[in-house]
Chains A and B, each alone.
Chain A
Amino acid sequence: EAGVTQFPSHSVIEKGQTVTLRCDPISGHDNLYWYRRVMGKEIKFLLHFVKESKQDESGMPNNRFLAERTGGTYSTLKVQPAELEDSGVYFCASSQDRMGTTNEKLFFGSGTQLSVL
């Protein structure tokens, strides 16, 4: 079974440019999450999709970040325009069950390392 895949694995862009990160969850997983770790900080939640709907986007830092999940399959996270402080590792995760069910667990991808210069 394929795991959560993220593309690209690395991205280097200049300040002011736009970058789009992609996440393909495990097939059949309705829940999709985005997290990120910026330099020297802890991993932080960004948002949560249930199928194509945004369940919780309380962690999105500002309106330069736009996440979509059209059709409830893969998701994209666009940063426009990128700033220096956006540099970090962006993780995507998916789960099959609603958080809180007995067997709930998140499967994470390997992340996208974003460097904004």
Chain B
Amino acid sequence: DAKTTQPPSMDCAEGRAANLPCNHSTISGNEYVYWYRQIHSQGPQYIIHGLKNNETNEMASLIITEDRKSSTLILPHATLRDTAVYYCIVRLQYNAGNMLTFGGGTRLMVKP
């Protein structure tokens, strides 16, 4: 699976949009971009995933560049409860291992 690069930490003001970038310059054509987050003392939580089109759900929006070498997770109105480590994961639609490869993630701190 392709490696991803994320900033180690970011701050965001409560109520503002949080834009979390992810670089995946070696992504291949059949690899998806997944986002998970881990709130302190909880297990990772699925947020969203996409292949090449932008995606939106009740939690967030995912913007993938046209060349697919990078993406941005957008939390439109961040709250204090969105403080967490956010993981960008690139993986094949199907691989024999079926595993998610977690990197270091971005620690998002939402401040009042």
Contacts and interface: CB of A to CB of B under 8 A. Distances in A.
Interface string B42-79: 11111001000000000000000000000000000000
Given A45-B101, A91-B44, A99-B94, 14 more contacts: A4-B43, A31-B98, A33-B99, A42-B104, A43-B38, A43-B44, A45-B100, A56-B99, A59-B99, A99-B98, A100-B92, A100-B94, A105-B46, A106-B100
Interface residues of B, number: 22
A64 interface: no
Where chain B touches its partner, the secondary structure class is loop
Interface of B: 36, 38, 41-46, 49, 92-104
Interface string A84-110: 000000010100001110000111111
Contacts of B103: 42
A25 interface: no
B63 to A, nearest CB: 19
Contacts of A110: 41-43
B56 to A, nearest CB: 15
Nearest to A103: B49
Given A42-B103, A100-B92, A48 B98 contact: yes
A56 B98 contact: yes
Interface string A30-70: 01010100000011110010000001101100000000000
Contacts of B49: 105
Interface of A: 4, 31, 33, 35, 42-45, 48, 55-56, 58-59, 91, 93, 98-100, 105-111
B44 A108 contact: yes
Contact of A55 (B45, B98, B102): B98
A108 B99 contact: no
A107 B94 contact: no
Nearest to B98: A99
B43 A109 contact: yes
A35 B102 CA distance: 10
B104 to A, nearest CB: 6
